[in-house]
A and B are shown apart, each in its own frame.
Chain A
Amino acid sequence: MRPNWAEQMSEDDEKQQSPPSDLEFTSNKARNCNATGSGSGHPEFQPPYPDQVLENVLENVLHFVTSRRDRNAASLVCKSWYRVEALTRSELFIGNCYAVSPRRATARFIRVRALHLKGKPRFADFNLMPHDWGAHFGPWVLAMARAYPWLEKVYLKRMTVTDDDLVTLAESFSGFKELVLVCCDGFGTSGLAVFVSKCRQLRVIDLIESEVTDDETDWISYFPEGESHLESLIFDCVECPINFEALERLVARSPSLKKLRLNRYVSIGQLYHLMIRAPQVTHLGTGSFSPLEVAGQGDQEPDYRTAFAACRSLVCLSGFREIIPNYLPAIYPVCANLTSLNFSYANINTEQLKPIIRNCHKLQVFWVLDSICDEGLQAVAATCKELRELRVFPIDANEDSDSPVSEVGLQAISEGCRKLQSILYFCQRMTNAAVIAMSKNCPDLVVFRLCIMKRHRPDAVTGAPMDDGFGAIVMNCKKLTRLAVSGLLTDKAFDYIGKYGKLIRTLSVAFAGDSDMGLKYVLKGCPQLQKLEIRDSPFGDAALLSGLHHYYNMRFLWMSSCKLTRRGCQEIAHATRRLVVEVIRSADEEEMGDSVGTLYMYRSLEGPRIDAPKSVTIL
């Protein structure tokens, strides 16, 4: 039976042989499955047959199936289910923009209203990838402009988006409602200006940790006049001054505004004015949280506390980009309601934190700098019994710095916050004992990311490698899906991970392990592994090859500054055409003979991409 959308793509014969294996979930079932029930030819040219009823029922039922994993499973039942699922999938998630082409995706799924697309791998955030590596949104937006005129939502992570892309987005979809850009780059305020001016139905514009060029265009004033539908306006990462009067007017005419996160160019005085216009906000990013430097401070200051008290629905607070701690007491009125507090840009000490945190009984998410010290973490542990996620960032992200948090803080958190599910902890010293304690006290851990900043650092008390600590985590935390390791680690740690990390999907390794055995343990033992990112570890070709059976089930493998050679990578490339094997040269790296600087390998239905820059060789 020919899928009717194949006619659009007559040159793409492959598709008719077998439906493309699903992007997220791989199995050979689809290939073996024969059409059952549905007759041949196009349904609309045939008189209704009994199974038509079933198909209609299926279509209606599938509308309620939203989880993409469930949908992937449904699509593999048989061709009929595959077809109906494709017709009814409205939210399309693509974890690697190069795994499938825009053409193929838009051909299969024809009624998409929301696209979620991810580009570069995470290590790109740390300058380990050339700036022009790829992940361009352009081809996607052009394909969707043709295929999905009713597109409403786009969520992009680590993609390069140009100003032209933003214009295309705004001009091609009359009902466009939500744009969320996380860790993206390539565009500026002029693109934003055009975008906001043309999207009349815009409800959400969230710019999160993205790089936005300052084209000196006052984009805030480009929002159309009249009542706006804005529900979420997040621009705390935009490093350009904004027109405050325009912003104030915009907020005043956005009665549905619930999320407002300001950048550091908004002073605390300006924040006050915005808050009294929008007391209905649930998520607030405070901007600089300090007054303008210009004179005029002799005047009476507004009552910031009252403004906060008026925000009765406020549950998520962030910002504090240039905080003057004197102003901190203004937030007391909302502390008791807060479920999320982000102090990760606020240089505050223990004494400044304590009065705040002791009121935050409902806190579930807390991001903070290590400037609060172990004692600050103890205060958190004493009050925040509902804590689910903790992130402790270093104020001085330097290998040789003195970190004021240590195993003491981690131990305290483990004892006080038993419901902890996710932790990211930067420190300079750690002990196995504290990590083991956490593994026992916090059995609900799903994400455990420990970064001991000094490389190869052993247990600060015993001098032993950190193997046992991480071993305990994988053994005791039965729900663990994401793990990042650090410190001095031998192959033993990886043996533990392979043996016990049965649910691990994402694993980050840096400066760890002794030999190929380390990587082999992981590749052999972790069946759910999707994303494996490794840097500066002594794993070579033999280890790489040992995972061949597994790579097509993964989203990607990243290995930089390991012991790989061109020959080894070539062998993988030759062994299967379903993997794209990229070797990336860094700018100042000298290719020493056969050795490979960076390997980035991912499954794909498309083969080598055509937009790779010079620094990338696809084997």
Chain B
Amino acid sequence: MAYEKDLNLEATELRLGLPGTSEESAEKQTSATLRSNKRALPDMNEGSVSGDNHSNVAAAKKCDQETASPTKAQVVGWPPIRSYRKNCLQPKKTEAETARIYVKVSMDGAPYLRKIDLKGYKGYPELLKALEDMFKFKVGEYSEREGYNGSEFVPTYEDKDGDWMLVGDVPWEMFTNSCKRLRIMKGSEARGLGCVV
């Protein structure tokens, strides 16, 4: 399973992965784009959710490390500026870049809500992993056609229009911009959502 962040074509696409793997997923992605606008996500293929998640996350981490290597060469505590001062002087990029997106997360049966910052995640794999950790559940396998399979719980969200959607259906950026709150539903209730599109 590989969630993509954007609908865009591979040339301008932001990818988290080593050069080798990205070509593969790009092909799948473009074919998916042709099919539908909303669900521009490749089919889930072989391999368990968690396995693929790990490889994706691992690939993402590796890529991060490579791109971050110029910054990794930064020496600790040099130049000698207090972190308070450094933090205050972060060049103010657009408010959109720095703004946080806090959404409430509820889970059926859990006694209280949680709040998360969607800006803190790079994509669906990270978000789902965080939700799994937070609420101690497993999210099941995602497929475009069937939604989440093999788990009691299904992650859903309410979008700007007030509709309840399945998490993962739309590209990541679209999701973060339209998500008002998250609800982890009991599988039985969520079945209807998978067939909306």
Contact = CB atoms under 8 A, between A and B. Distances in A.
Nearest to A560: B77
Interface in B29-87: 70, 74-86
Contacts of B91: 347, 395-396
Contact of B79 (A123, A211, A264, A453): A453
Interface in A103-158: 123, 125-128
B86 A397 contact: yes
Tell me what chain A mostly uses at the interface: helix, strand, loop, or mixed.
loop
A209 interface: yes
B81 A393 contact: yes
B89 interface: yes
Contacts of B84: 209, 211, 237
B88 interface: yes
A397 B77 contact: no
A397 B76 contact: no
Given A396-B91, A399-B74, A535-B77, 7 more contacts: A126-B80, A127-B76, A128-B77, A395-B89, A397-B89, A453-B79, A536-B75
A369 interface: yes
Interface string A188-201: 00000000000000
A250 to B, nearest CB: 25
Interface of A: 123, 125-128, 183, 209, 211, 237, 264, 321-322, 344-345, 347, 369, 393-400, 426, 451, 453, 455, 510-511, 535-536, 586
Central interface residue in A237, A394, A395, A397, by most chain B CB within 10 Å: A397
Contacts of B85: 344-345, 393, 397
28 contacts: A125-B80, A126-B77, A126-B81, A127-B76, A127-B77, A127-B83, A128-B76, A211-B84, A321-B88, A344-B85, A345-B85, A347-B89, A394-B79, A394-B81, A396-B91, A397-B79, A397-B81, A397-B86, A397-B89, A399-B74, A399-B78, A399-B79, A451-B79, A451-B80, A453-B79, A455-B75, A510-B78, A511-B78
A399 B75 CA distance: 9
A263 B127 CA distance: 34
Nearest to B70: A400
A39 B70 CA distance: 73
A535 B79 CA distance: 12
Contacts, number: 63
A123 B77 contact: yes
B74 A398 contact: yes
Nearest to B71: A398
A455 B73 CA distance: 12
Top 4 closest A-B pairs, CB basis? A126-B77, A397-B81, A453-B79, A128-B77
Contacts of A344: 85
Contacts of A535: 77
A127 B85 CA distance: 13
Contacts of B75: 399, 455, 536
Contacts of A400: 70
A209 B85 CA distance: 9
Central interface residue in B80, B89, B91, by most chain A CB within 10 Å: B80
A345 B89 contact: yes
A396 B75 CA distance: 15
B188 to A, nearest CB: 39
B80 A510 contact: yes
Contacts of B88: 264, 321, 345
Nearest to A371: B89
Nearest to B86: A397
A400 B83 CA distance: 18
Interface string B111-124: 00000000000000
Interface string B145-169: 0000000000000000000000000
A143 B177 CA distance: 56
A145 to B, nearest CB: 31
A46 B34 CA distance: 106
A264 B79 CA distance: 25
Nearest to B82: A125
A198 B79 CA distance: 41
Nearest to A210: B84
Central interface residue in B77, B88, B92, by most chain A CB within 10 Å: B77
A394 B91 CA distance: 12
A126 B78 contact: yes
Nearest to B76: A127
A211 B77 CA distance: 17
B111 to A, nearest CB: 22
Contacts of B70: 400
Contacts of A395: 89, 91
A70 to B, nearest CB: 34
Nearest to B81: A397
B9 to A, nearest CB: 33
Contact of B82 (A126, A264, A347, A398): A126
Contacts of A396: 89, 91
Contacts of B74: 398-399
A455 B78 contact: yes
B69 to A, nearest CB: 12
Nearest to B95: A293
A586 B77 CA distance: 13
B74 to A, nearest CB: 7
Nearest to A395: B89
B92 to A, nearest CB: 8
Contacts of B83: 127
Given A399-B74, A400-B70, A536-B75, A369 B89 contact: yes
A321 B75 CA distance: 27
Contacts of B92: 322
Nearest to A486: B79
Contacts of B77: 123, 126-128, 535
A15 B76 CA distance: 43
B191 to A, nearest CB: 41
A394 B78 CA distance: 12
